[in-house]
Structure 1
């Protein structure tokens, strides 16, 4: 496998990995999961508020019934004082019916109190779990972000290393070319000096001058 092919495959792998990271970012998945849990908690709290409202409404109804219960007792006594046994009987009958309604209302109130207590316990435990998840989520997101930054830095470093290898190869080729040109220039100069190669740029009869100069140098 050539260096270019390996480099292209490496670049393709890096780009593919980045594309997959964008498509499947775990940070987004964690945020989505957290948002879903928060919505569930809001639903539980809404249900808790509705139960508490219903319980309060029953308490108010109980207070109204209690006031009416006392009033019927007073009316029955007043009717007896006036010798109106028929009215006293009617007041007592209504009072008895009201007792049954109060008993039913009391049972409903007790059931709502129990339901509210259960919802409060569920809300507390769910809120604690969501908070723990939030802390872990942020920790994991920070870890992922740091790992992603390190991976990108390593990829950049790997790319620089590849480029340096290419630059080194280019530098070696340039050195070889320079050495070849220097050797060629030296060989050409030697041929010209020995007269094997005529210097077209020199003066007329310059070859004779060089040879005479060389003879004088040997004579000295």
Structure 2
């Protein structure tokens, strides 16, 4: 397989994995769940803000109610002291305060209604998010189990998406092994014929090797001829005059011409 073909196979495999990730329903379900959770958080944040504003108006109304009561008591005390002018002033302020209380009471009731609506929306949305989460996890578990079955079946049948790449790897491995075997056989022949010289050997080492082989052959030929001559003369060959006997006989090996 050429380099271009290998790159094509690799890119196709990577693109297939990328498409598989894009089409994976589990990721889509997780994204949808995260969006719903964000919506629920926004609703809860809005509910907290409305409740805070409602509480602030409630505290302001309670403060106005206390002042309203004090102004009524002051008007009554002024009349008891025959101070009609002070009683009139207290009542006038009390009348103005009634208008202010009426205004914030309307705001308070509107915020209370809005809070009730937000609480109802938060409850229903929280229930929907919880139900969606349960359904999501069920679908993801079913998909994972099905995916595992598909991979196991494809592996058993040998039809997975990686089979083509595996077959190509096997073909490349076989080609490399065949090339290496052919190269080893060729280098063996070159070494045996002397055509491939050892770059680390000493100069003219090949000549020394051939001369040594020729000397060994000549010595063998001489020994063989000596054995033939001894047999022709009908005498048994004896030990070489220069050979040693006993346990140190090996010391005489190679001293002169060796006769078996």
Q: Same fold (TM over 0.5)?
A: yes
Q: Secondary structure at the match of 1:35?
A: helix
Q: Secondary structure at the match of 2:82?
A: coil
The alignment yields a C-alpha RMSD, in angstroms, of 2.7
Q: Which residue in the other structure is 1:62 paired with?
A: 61
Q: Secondary structure at the match of 1:109?
A: helix
Tell me how far 1:12 sits from its aligned partner.
9.9
Q: Which runs of 5+ in 2 are unaligned?
A: 1-9, 168-260
Distance 2:115 2:125 in 1: 15
Distance 2:31 2:113 in 1: 33
Is structure 2 residue 154 aligned with structure 1 residue 155? yes
TM-score by length of 2: 0.54
Distance 1:12 1:60 in 2: 68
Distance 1:104 1:19 in 2: 61
Distance 1:160 1:59 in 2: 72
Q: Secondary structure at the match of 1:99?
A: helix
TM-score by length of 1: 0.64
The change in CA–CA distance for 1:12 and 1:75 in structure 2 (over 3 A counts) is: closer
What are the superposed Cα offsets for residues 51-83 of structure 1, whole Å, 9 maximum, x if unpaired? 111111111111111110010011111122222
Task: After the TM superposition, list the runs of 4 or more consecutive aligned residues in structure 1 that deviate by more than 4 angstroms.
Answer: 11-17, 160-163
Q: Which residue in the other structure is 1:145 paired with?
A: 144
Q: How many residues align?
A: 155
Structure with greater Cα Rg: 2
Tell me how far 1:22 sits from its aligned partner.
2.2
Distance 2:96 2:159 in 1: 92
Between stretches 17-26 and 59-68, larger displacement belongs to 17-26
Q: Which residue in the other structure is 2:25 paired with?
A: 26
Q: Which runs of 5+ in 1 are unaligned?
A: 1-10, 167-220
Distance 1:160 1:131 in 2: 40
